[in-house]
Amino acid sequence: MFDIMSIKNIKEKIMPAGRPSKQTSKKNKDSRSHLITTALELIKNGESLNVRAICSRSGLSTGTFYYYFRDKDDLLGYCLTQSLANSPIECCNEYSLSEQIFAVYLPLLQQYQDLGKPFMRQFYTGNNSSLARYMGEAEGQFLKGTVMFDSQELIKKAIQKGMLSETTDSYKLSADICILIKGSVFDWCLSDYKDKIIPTAKRLLQNYLAAFSSQSV
């Protein structure tokens, strides 16, 4: 016959401390997904978006929200970047430098278009610290895994291969490109007509890089 202590020992062997059960993991995933879905619904309906509104509509506590996200911008940033996968950064003469750098930004720009202007108008604000996750720097260095870091790596390799002048400052050029892309996004967010951000960003990038290239980019 099992006593209480025996049952406790069996549970500890089956489910070690600190390791959540499958049911707990699924519940956590469902709660996070529900918070995200609720936030997207609020944006789609043109309603006010804040932590209190998200929790009230979702039926989840603020404690649950802050378990997953620092604030609403953190949640929006997660929506934007969760499907973006990092791929090896290579530089080759087969493609122009502008095409290669644009390929770095393309998944992000595609996400912008897919999520739509209402979402981006909520997210793309000057005081959103979550932007630094993939468009930022720390102590004068681009954060690894960001589009700025990947862009600079391509520029460095392009300089080594003679695709750009040896005097090109890879850091400044990568920063300028990011400013150009962000400017395109802000302009797209502010416009009321149904334009596409990707063709515009690509055209501006090609024209800008042409001034730095020692051969066709």
- Model pLDDT, residue 202: 92
Residues 54, 109, single domain; the answer is no
Range of the domain at 61: 22-69
- Model pLDDT, residue 15: 42
Residues 104, 65, single domain; the answer is no
Separation between Cα atoms, residue 141 and residue 151, nearest integer Å: 13
CA dihedral 124, 129, 154, 100 (to 10 degrees): -20
Residues 109, 178, single domain; the answer is yes
Q: Is residue 86 part of a domain?
A: no
Residues 127, 56, single domain; the answer is no
Total domains in the chain come to: 2
- Model pLDDT, residue 142: 85
Separation between Cα atoms, residue 188 and residue 16, nearest integer Å: 51
The segments of the chain whose pLDDT lies below 50 read 1-23, 88, 214-217
Q: Is residue 60 part of a domain?
A: yes
- Model pLDDT, residue 135: 61
Q: Is the pTM of this model over 0.85?
A: no
Find the CATH number of the domain harbouring 47. Answer: 1.10.10
DSSP the chain: ---HHHHHHHHHHHS-TT---HHHHHHHHHHHHHHHHHHHHHHHTT---SHHHHHHHHT--HHHHHHH-SSHHHHHHHHHHTT---------TTS-HHHHHHHHHHHHHHHHHHH-HHHHHHH--TT-GGGGGTS-EETTEEPTTSHHHHHHHHHHHHHHTTSB-TT--HHHHHHHHHHHHHHHHHHHHH--S---HHHHHHHHHHHHHHTTBSS--
Residues 33, 120, single domain; the answer is no
Q: Is residue 77 part of a domain?
A: no
Residues 108, 35, single domain; the answer is no
